[in-house]
Amino acid sequence: MTTKSYKSVLVISDLHIPYHHPDAFNFLKALKTKYKPDLVINIGDELDMHAMSMHDSDPDLFSAGHELAASIAYIQTLEKIFPKMQIVHSNHSSMLYRRALKHGVPKATLNITMTS
């Protein structure tokens, strides 16, 4: 087994896009510039997915569709900042699968690409 050592590792957690702090990306860019990490790991909850939650929803926040639409540009920006970022599975990233399971939808159904 080959192991690799890293000089600098950046760990990102709980952005909860699109409800992230307005300075979050500028802060992450500053960390990247200062520490020049050779490994970037996002340990989860990069998306909030509030509207998909099993908990009570705030009616003043985005619907699931609006939340997804608002999140896409932010995720693309994050990917440009850290193109090789590793993302760890988290409770927010599994929300869609957990909702499907609750309603008897097989996981395979979620992998089908829908065309219009």
pTM as predicted: 0.78
Residue range 44-95, pLDDT digits in tens: 888 888 877 777 888 899 988 899 899 999 999 999 999 999 988 877 677 7
Q: Are 50 and 79 in contact (CB under 8 A)?
A: no
* Triad 49, 32, 12: Cα angle to 5°: 30
- Measured CA to CA, the distance from residue 95 to residue 10 in angstroms comes to 25
Mean pLDDT throughout 88-116?
73
- Measured CA to CA, the distance from residue 31 to residue 33 in angstroms comes to 5
Reported as type and span, the H/E element at residue 69 is helix 64-81
Closest CA relative to residue 82, chosen from 35, 44, 42: 42
Looking at per-residue confidence, does 113 or 57 come out higher? 57
